Amino acid sequence: MHLLLPDQLLRIRTEPLDGFTDDEFFEFCQLNSDMRIERSADKEITVMPPVGGDSGAASFDVLVQLGSWNRVHAGRPFESSIGFVLPDGAMLSPDASWVRREVWAAILPADRKKFLRVCPDFIIEVKSPSDRPNVLQAKMEQWLSNGVRLAFMIDPETETAHIYRPGQEPEIVQGFDNELSGEPVLPGFRLDLRELRAQS
């Protein structure tokens, strides 16, 4: 185990943790439920610090808008405590995500009680001050390579959004006076960035 500086993430890599099955890793996370934990495809465990007020408020506003849209479209939205086990073996927890209704319906009730072994259709990551841009950008590419069809990365501090789609270069939207379209993955969804602007 090694500790990083206060503005960085804690990464843990030891042989006993490498040997965790998915069920054992799930139990490990439940025993440490006060921490937000992810695991990379090569079994490196990352413990992420709690976010500050601006990032937390932006994440909440994202969820409110996604949840409101979903009432009509009836998929399954999730907040940041969800864990997705991806095809490459990583277990990641986005700040917000959405899964199509038919995908959710195909998951057995017993399997819904654990980390979901599906890749969401749509995810949002809200950058916090402790997130390093290159690491977060690599994570967005990892989401796409595992099957995410649309992803937003939002930086409240600089009022910048990046839109990721498979096979395309990220689109950069500067300024929170804009909206982000969820088309065609989320028909009719538009994320109003004005709602994410830090309040004085």
| Mean pLDDT within 131-157 | 94
As beta bridge partners, residue 153 has 125, 162
With a CB cutoff of 8 Å and minimum separation 6, the contacts of 64 are: 195
User: DSSP for 95-136?
Assistant: SEEEE-HHHHHTS-TTGGGS-B-S--SEEEEE--TTS-HHHH
Q: How far apart are CA 154 and CA 2, in angstroms?
A: 29
- Residues 68-102: tens digit of each pLDDT: 999 998 799 999 888 999 999 999 999 999 999 99
More confidently predicted of 45 and 133: 133
- Mean pLDDT over all residues of the chain? 85
What percent of the chain shows pLDDT beyond 90? 58
CA nearest 149: which of 189, 110, 114?
A: 189
CA nearest 192: which of 171, 175, 178, 172?
A: 178
Band (pLDDT 50/70/90 cuts) for residue 200 is very low
pTM for the full predicted model: 0.83
More confidently predicted of 182 and 59: 182
- Asked if the model's pLDDT at residue 63 lies above 70, the reply is yes
At 28 the pLDDT is: 73
At 46 the pLDDT is: 76
- Asked if the model's pLDDT at residue 151 lies above 90, the reply is yes
The domains of the chain are located at: 51-196
More confidently predicted of 132 and 177: 177
At 67 the pLDDT is: 95
Residue 98 backbone phi and psi in degrees, to 5 = -150, 140
Q: Are 86 and 188 in contact (CB under 8 A)?
A: no
CATH topology of domain 51-196: tt1808, chain A (3.90.1570)
- Residues 9-38: tens digit of each pLDDT: 445 444 445 567 777 777 777 776 666 777
Q: How far apart are CA 25 and CA 40, in angstroms?
A: 12
